[in-house]
Amino acid sequence: MTIYRSVTDHGALYTSRAFTDACHRAGVLQSMSAVGSPADNAAAESFNASFYLVIYGVASNATRT
pTM greater than 0.75: no
Question: Which residue range forms the structural domain that includes residue 39?
Answer: 5-63
Q: How far apart are CA 55 and CA 1, in angstroms?
A: 11
Please write the tens of the pLDDT for every residue from 33-53. Answer: 888 777 766 777 788 888 888
- Using DSSP, state whether 37 is helix, strand or coil: coil
- Number of structural domains (the chain) is 1
Closest to 1 (Cα-Cα) out of 33, 24, 26, 19:
26
H or E element: which one contains 31?
strand 29-32
| DSSP state for residue 10 in the 8-state scheme | S
Please write the tens of the pLDDT for every residue from 20-31. Answer: 999 999 999 998
Q: How far apart are CA 28 and CA 26, in angstroms?
A: 5
